[in-house]
A and B are shown apart, each in its own frame.
Chain A
């Protein structure tokens, strides 16, 4: 199984400031078509998760452009250019390269 590791369980941030969350996989998520099968999800308090980024760097429909994803292979980063109060919640990375699909343990963004 591919193990997903997020760098920190929590991340205190200041509104208006940037933030970044790291995720590492135990094996490369790059497939033969040069796609990284890495997604980012945000679970706001009391809500279901929602997709932010798919295939490493593609912003999902309706996601503000302050969110961006980067990285390749085994190291990935989610960046928020300017944190807003509504961004609080738990951020999860997820590998979709192979089953079993696996998630990182989550990083709680705290303001």
Chain B
């Protein structure tokens, strides 16, 4: 059974940093592409970014609102993907979902999400 379990969400002040983790199981993690999608309270889905597998160059892509502030990384030895968030803004407040990205075609598994609140 595929599982994606996000953690690390918290209340943080504007300008602060936070690192989210997504622990994966039930599939071959080393070959997986993984994406982060967020959802602000009461709003729709917004793509954050993606990391490809090492075999596909471990390429990272980011949405414009987070580029330069957020970094996606992976530790294949721990079956975990990370989202390092720096210089947080109030508009980054959202539930952050980790997803498995099927070769850039669709997202077949989603975690339960972790809430990040940026507020003074």
Contact = CB atoms under 8 A, between A and B. Distances in A.
Chain A: number of interface residues, binned into ranges: 20 to 34
Contacts of B37: 49
Contacts of B47: 99-103
Chain B interface size band reads: 20 to 34
Contacts, number: 58
A102 B110 CA distance: 17
Given A48-B112, A49-B97, A103 B61 contact: no
A41 B45 contact: yes
Contacts of A94: 45, 106
Interface string A49-85: 1110011000011000000000000000000000000
A106 interface: yes
Interface in A20-57: 37, 39, 41, 43, 48-51, 54-55
Interface of B: 35, 37, 44-47, 50, 61-64, 97, 102, 104-108, 110-113
